[in-house]
Amino acid sequence: MEQLPELTAGQYSLVYNAMSLTIAAFLGSGAFFILGRNFVAPEYRKALVTSALVVGIAAYHYFRINFSWEAAFELEGGMYVPSGKPFNDAYRYVDWLITVPLLLVELVQVMNLSKEKSRNLITVLSISAVLMLLTGYFGEVDKSSTSIMSSRGLWGFISTIFFVIILVKLVQEIWGTAKEETGRVRILVRNILLLTVLVWGFYPIAYMGPFFGLSGAASEVFVQVGYSLADITAKAGYGLMIFAIARERTLQNYSESEAQAA
């Protein structure tokens, strides 16, 4: 288990409020994906249901992370000191194990690929995502490693291989299809792929923190707030971009009242 640092009231609250912001963003965007289903044509509603599942599952995990954070500290003379109860960071990995494959499924669901191509792509992406996260978790457990040649470094390297497989598949199959399209859909798909690369890039950086000797209060706060903002972008923001793609495709083929009546 990780050794928690002593935090000032401001540091503790910043993390606490970032977690609460994340829960609010997930619940709000989830309600939007459910209530907004009718704004897209029937063939894209699967993707909105998937988006709602992602943020719903993530909201559940953030509630638990938030409770765990609260229990892990005690207020003593104006400072938040570790209470002895562990802060259970593993919730994040459990969450990602379910939500990351679903995020990839969402994207495939708005791409208008053939049924067979969709199925193959979902299989490859999901398996790669699960392997990326499992191997990453094996390394995460070893918090004491400060060397990149440790087991943490080795597992991190293996995990990265699966991350690269996902990126290659996304560029080949998703961008390979989208670049043939015209108008706003092409731009939206390009943007969601850029967002994925940039935001998913934060997680390996946080993972490598111990290698750079990062520890203590400032580093803990940076990582926790960073995870919160990255998760909001990678799940709620990503879902809104999926909605935008589905909406754009809908308006290319239907009028507003046709789409909502369908």
- Please give the residue ranges that form the binding site for a copy of itself (CB under 8 A): 1, 9-10, 13, 16-17, 20-21, 23-25, 27-28, 31-32, 34-36, 38-39, 41-43, 45-46, 49, 52-53, 56-57, 60-61, 64, 75, 84-86, 88, 90-91, 94-95, 97-98, 141, 256-257, 260-262
Distance CA 262, CA 176 (A): 30
Strands 73-76 and 79-82, sheet pairing: antiparallel
In the complex, the smallest distance separating the C-beta of residue 20 from a copy of itself, rounded to whole angstroms, is 6
Closer by beta carbon to a copy of itself, 40 or else 193: 40
Closer by beta carbon to a copy of itself, 167 or else 187: 187
In the complex, the smallest distance separating the C-beta of residue 129 from a copy of itself, rounded to whole angstroms, is 15
Closer by beta carbon to a copy of itself, 146 or else 260: 260
In the complex, the smallest distance separating the C-beta of residue 167 from a copy of itself, rounded to whole angstroms, is 26
Closer by beta carbon to a copy of itself, 89 or else 167: 89
In the complex, the smallest distance separating the C-beta of residue 164 from a copy of itself, rounded to whole angstroms, is 26
The first and second tokens of residue 171, run together, are: 């560029």
